[in-house]
Structure 1
Amino acid sequence: MGEFKKIQTRRYANTIEGKNCIVTGANSGIGYATAEGLASRGATVFMVCRNKERGEAAASEIQSATGNKNVFLEVCDISSIGDIKSFASRFSSKDVPVHVLVNNAGVLENNRLITSEGYEMSFAVNVLGTYAMTELMLPLLEKAAPDARVVTVASGGMYTAPLMEDLQFSDNKFVGVEQYARNKRVQVALTEKWADMYKDKGVGFYSMHPGWAETPGVAKSMPGFSKSLSGKLRTSEEGADTVIWLALQPKEKLVPGGFYFDRAEAPKHLPFAATMGSHTAIDSIAHNLRNSSRL
């Protein structure tokens, strides 16, 4: 998939002036680059960040860099269903259409950590948090129909993992990188399911693979990998390029439920891989996620 390939970010043909965009995990890395890219094209951007101080600093930097004052911080911990519900309630009271939701917040934990709500941390952020945020924002996305879309930042790591119903990796010794790959496979399969479930609501659903980018998250979770490939990995801006492209493209040019890499639809499975038949499990997984999030 050429995921270590540096790319030349190109100009975007369209603008997004006046549209409302939510970006989760927006204070650093690909999330920050996405928020800045959307703000520079005239969007009103709501940056969903866990840490208030870092979020405020990032929002201020983007306002200064882009000259766009319509960049706002929304404090929410995506690992907490309670926090996401509180955010959704607050945000819904604004009664504004959401044109673009970017599910970027993600984590790769090398050790099993349990959240205060009793969930394995990687699952809580990457899967349950992404699921709850998307479902709770759906009424506001419908307000922006037929132009609304959800872009979920997945990973090429998902090529190594079939869809599995053991979402919290309880069946054997916890392996952080493998759990991350499993989580990203769920995101891709969920995107397919959402595209089918909500095809009549005027909301597009897409997932994408940013390539391996030199972000704070990669440096923290995979320090050896990050150090060995220093200078060869993509920048956060290169990683965010396809996210912004998906936000700007006319929906008729995009494939519902599609998985994208470098501005083009990409396969969801490697040739002859055992992952191909696994997506049939998504119905029961989505049912379990709804029960877990108590939506």
Structure 2
Amino acid sequence: MFLLKTWRSTAFGIYGYMNFTKNGFLDHSKKFKPEDMQIQIQGKNCVVTGANSGIGYAAAEGLASRFELNYAVNVLGTYTMTELMLPLLEKASPDSKVITVSSGGMYTSPLTTDLQFSGEKFDGVLQYARNKRIQVALTEKWADKYKNKGIGFYSMHPGWAETPGVARSLPSFKESFSGKLRTSEEGADTVVWLALQPKEKLVSGAFYFDRAEAPKHLTLAGTSKSHDLIDSVIDTLHSMAALDP
């Protein structure tokens, strides 16, 4: 298990440095399609809410109330809001989409049913990675479950962008990658692109990065089979959110 975790971290670091930085964006943007560079929004309705990568506090917050804060925002809140909006999204079909902003950090963790981090020593970075993995698996499940509802479901990640959240949660990371992180605009690029793309050009349930479908698992990271746990995770989420059966 230790070797597997080490491999995930190493592979993530190398893959991330090559792809998630500003240089990665500049390299990938050379492949953007010319017809996508000047997208017209006239006649289109687009509402984007909660379009951020979430939080990654390094200490467990909120446990004294009911839900650990990272989990409450990144997972339970995402699930509850999406499920409650489904009737409205169905009415807006076939143009409606759900775009969940995940993170490349999810590559370092398999899916787990330990939603609120039961370990003795809380690890905010690991909890964040787990939260982001759940978002990707949820997107897969929604796409399959509601494929006949006319709603598109997509997850994506913005790369390593210089934001106040990164500065607060990962100050050493920000310092180490000074001058190499993406701008907020570069990080938001794929969210906007997904929102405005015709659905027939996209794959519902897919994970996107820099305007292209991206892998959900790194080679030999041992995370792909863990998505089999998503039904159990959803049962727990549904109960915690107190949604109707």
* TM-score of the two chains, using structure 2 as the length reference: 0.84
2:156 is aligned with 1:208: yes
* Of 8, 14, 21, the match for 2:39: 14
> Contact 2:90 / 2:149 at 8 angstroms: preserved in 1?
yes
**2:153 aligned counterpart, secondary structure:** strand
**2:154 aligned counterpart, secondary structure:** strand
Aligned to 1:263: 211
Whole-Å Cα distance in 2 between the matches of residues 275 and 148 of structure 1? 30
2:104 is aligned with 1:139: no
Aligned to 1:218: 166
Deviations 1:8-58 (A, max 9, x none): 56754533334040321xxxxxx4xxxxxxxxxxxxxxxxxxxxxxxxxxx
Whole-Å Cα distance in 1 between the matches of residues 126 and 46 of structure 2? 35
> How do 1:279-290 and structure 2 match up within 5 A?
279-290=227-238
Residue-pair matches, total: 217
Whole-Å Cα distance in 2 between the matches of residues 193 and 16 of structure 1? 29
Whole-Å Cα distance in 2 between the matches of residues 215 and 116 of structure 1? 28
Whole-Å Cα distance in 2 between the matches of residues 155 and 116 of structure 1? 27
- Given residue 15 of structure 1, which amino acid in structure 2 is its aligned partner? Q
* TM-score of the two chains, using structure 1 as the length reference: 0.70
* Of 13, 17, 22, the match for 1:5: 22
- Given residue 167 of structure 2, which amino acid in structure 1 is its aligned partner? A
Distance verdict in 2 for CA 1:176–1:21, change over 3 Å:
same
Whole-Å Cα distance in 2 between the matches of residues 204 and 234 of structure 1? 27
How much has 1:209 moved relative to structure 2?
Answer: 1.3
> Contact 2:20 / 2:160 at 8 angstroms: preserved in 1?
yes
Aligned to 1:292: 240
**1:205 aligned counterpart, secondary structure:** strand
How much has 1:108 moved relative to structure 2?
Answer: 0.6
Whole-Å Cα distance in 1 between the matches of residues 140 and 54 of structure 2? 19
Unaligned runs of 5+ in 2: 1-14
The percentage of counterpart residues that share the same residue type is 62
> Contact 1:105 / 1:125 at 8 angstroms: preserved in 2?
no
Whole-Å Cα distance in 1 between the matches of residues 70 and 206 of structure 2? 24
Deviations 1:152-188 (A, max 9, x none): 1101110110000001111331100000000000000
- Given residue 22 of structure 1, which amino acid in structure 2 is its aligned partner? V
Whole-Å Cα distance in 2 between the matches of residues 176 and 15 of structure 1? 40
Structure in which a larger fraction of residues adopt helix: 2
Whole-Å Cα distance in 2 between the matches of residues 170 and 293 of structure 1? 20
Distance verdict in 2 for CA 1:5–1:151, change over 3 Å:
same
How much has 1:250 moved relative to structure 2?
Answer: 1.0
Higher RCO (CA < 8 A, seq sep 6+): 2
- Given residue 223 of structure 1, which amino acid in structure 2 is its aligned partner? P
* Of 58, 61, 64, the match for 1:110: 58
Whole-Å Cα distance in 2 between the matches of residues 111 and 13 of structure 1? 43
Structure in which a larger fraction of residues adopt strand: 1
Aligned-pair Cα RMSD in Å: 1.6
Unaligned runs of 5+ in 1: 25-30, 32-103
> Contact 2:46 / 2:195 at 8 angstroms: preserved in 1?
no
Whole-Å Cα distance in 2 between the matches of residues 126 and 106 of structure 1? 6
